């Protein structure tokens, strides 16, 4: 295969440009449009024959349109004789539907994996999955570079004396443990439960000592903000001095940003796996957006050169 070709869907053009700049390449031109009958269309505007093609599309709103557009781009690349097609998914579509934990429900994250393969993807690059088992839904190589290096670098610039890393639920324990190890900090876990009927969050016991400490909550995403803000409140009730949130994927459903601004959180750190831009930066400087472009650029380079991706993030 000759060159790296990076094609961007419409979900996150800024991230695609940032990655292309780091790779010192130009984005491969593509036309994306919607016909009057609402059907999507795409056309890759230069030859990609035998090239190493990376198609970037994150799961931004509207999620199903973003996904359909991704499938069209993969299909177009296949017909255009791409040497190899890697789907680059900074935020994986339907990531939370990853298990059959109720009767008569789909496992949509697995279905997404099947459909990507049918469309013609040959490799997957995604980031900070909600659960590790999603990687095993693929019958093709799938890598999950983590945003840990950029987040840890940022946190290390702070005074971390008397700080504790907090996982908001048992599912996030492995992730929190990873950060705690990198930062050499103790860990605490919350017993979070979500009512499957109304999605309301209930925080039970806290395991670990948070009294008089700065608590850093580590979570994979912020959607309604329920998890983060309820956890923060419970920590304050237990005597935490201040609370910082780290949520990798900034979904920010509806009025979540306002809720964060009104909350007592000292700071919220997110990344640009999704195209989130704080609305009012002056009032809102409590929300920090870190760029994961260097991580994805490095991972793309490793895949192209046949080097290990996981070793980058240990």
Beta bridge partner(s), residue 52: 4, 84
CB of 208 within 8 A of CB of 187? yes
Write the CB contacts of 26 (distance below 8 Å, at least 6 apart in sequence). Answer: 20
Tell me the closest approach of the beta carbon of residue 98 to ligand R5P, in angstroms.
10
- Alpha-carbon distance of 257 to 224, in angstroms, equals 9
Strands (E), 28-153: 30-34, 40-44, 52-56, 84-89, 123-126, 142-143
Q: Is 222 in the site for ligand R5P (CB under 6 A)?
A: yes
Among 221, 234, 240, 246, binds ligand R5P (CB under 6 A): 221
**Which listed range, 44-52, 222-230, 273-281, 301-309, lies at the site for ligand R5P (CB under 6 A)?**
222-230
User: Could you identify the residue written with the tokens 């996150």?
Assistant: 12
Element (H, E) at 4: strand 4-8
Q: Is 220 in the site for ligand R5P (CB under 6 A)?
A: yes
Residue window 128-167: x/- pattern of binding to ligand R5P, with contact defined by CB under 6 A: --x-------------------------------------
Q: Would you give the distance in Å from CA 145 to the centre of its chain?
A: 10
* Given the residues 26, 158, 192, 254, the one annotated as active site: 192
- Alpha-carbon distance of 265 to 195, in angstroms, equals 24
Among 126, 167, 223, 238, binds ligand R5P (CB under 6 A): 223
The reply to whether 259 belongs to the active site is: no
Which of the residues 44 through 103 are near ligand R5P (CB under 6 A)? 96
Q: Is 227 in the site for ligand R5P (CB under 6 A)?
A: yes
Active-site residue list = 192
Residues engaged in binding ligand R5P (CB under 6 A)? 96, 130, 168-169, 171-172, 219-228
């Amino acid at each position: 295969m000759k060159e790296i070709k990076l094609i961007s869907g419409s979900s996150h053009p800024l991230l695609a440009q940032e990655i292309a700049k780091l790779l010192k390449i130009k984005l491969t031109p593509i036309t994306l449009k919607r016909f009057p009958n609402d059907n999507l269309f795409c056309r890759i505007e230069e030859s990609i024959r035998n090239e190493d093609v990376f198609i970037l599309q994150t799961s931004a709103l509207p999620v199903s349109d973003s996904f359909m557009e991704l499938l069209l781009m993969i299909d177009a690349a296949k017909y255009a004789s791409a040497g190899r097609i890697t789907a680059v998914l900074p935020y994986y579509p339907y990531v939370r539907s990853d298990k059959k934990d109720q009767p008569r429900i789909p496992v949509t994250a697995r279905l997404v994996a099947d459909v990507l393969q049918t469309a013609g993807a040959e490799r997957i690059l995604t980031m900070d999955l909600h659960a590790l088992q999603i990687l095993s839904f693929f019958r093709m190589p799938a890598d999950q570079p983590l945003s840990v290096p950029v987040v840890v670098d940022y946190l290390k610039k702070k005074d971390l004396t008397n700080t504790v890393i907090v996982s908001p639920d048992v599912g996030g324990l492995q992730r929190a443990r990873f950060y705690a190890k990198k930062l050499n900090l103790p860990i605490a876990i919350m017993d979070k439960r979500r009512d499957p009927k109304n999605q309301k969050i209930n925080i039970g016991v806290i395991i670990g000592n948070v009294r008089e400490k700065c608590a850093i909550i580590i979570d994979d995403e912020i959607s309604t903000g329920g998890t983060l803000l309820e956890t923060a409140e419970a920590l304050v009730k237990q005597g935490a001095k201040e609370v910082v949130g780290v949520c990798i994927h900034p979904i920010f459903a509806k009025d979540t940003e306002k809720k964060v601004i009104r909350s007592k959180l000292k700071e919220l750190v997110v990344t640009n796996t999704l195209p989130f831009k704080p609305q009012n930066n002056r009032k809102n400087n409590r929300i920090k957006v870190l760029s994961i472009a260097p991580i994805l650029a490095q991972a793309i380079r490793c895949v192209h050169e046949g080097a290990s991706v996981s070793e980058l993030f240990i």
